[in-house]
Amino acid sequence: MDQSSFEFPNAITKLSKANIPLDGCTAFLVQGENEQILFMRIEKTIELPEHSHDAQWGIVLSGEIELEIDGEKTIYRKGDNYYIEKGISHKGKIFAGYSDITYFNQKDRYKKY
Please tell me the distance from the alpha carbon of residue 27 to that of residue 15, in angstroms, as a whole number: 9
- What per-residue confidence (pLDDT) applies to 6? 80
Mind listing the pLDDT tens digit for each residue in 17-30? 999 999 999 999 99
| Angle made by CA atoms 49, 55, 59, in degrees to the nearest 5 | 80
5-9, 100-104, 107-111: which is most confident: 100-104
- Mean pLDDT over 41-58 rounds to 96
Cα radius of gyration (the chain): 13
**pLDDT of residue 5 exceeding 80:** no
For the chain, give me the number of helices (H) and strands (E)? 1, 10
- What per-residue confidence (pLDDT) applies to 113? 87
**pLDDT of residue 1 exceeding 70:** no
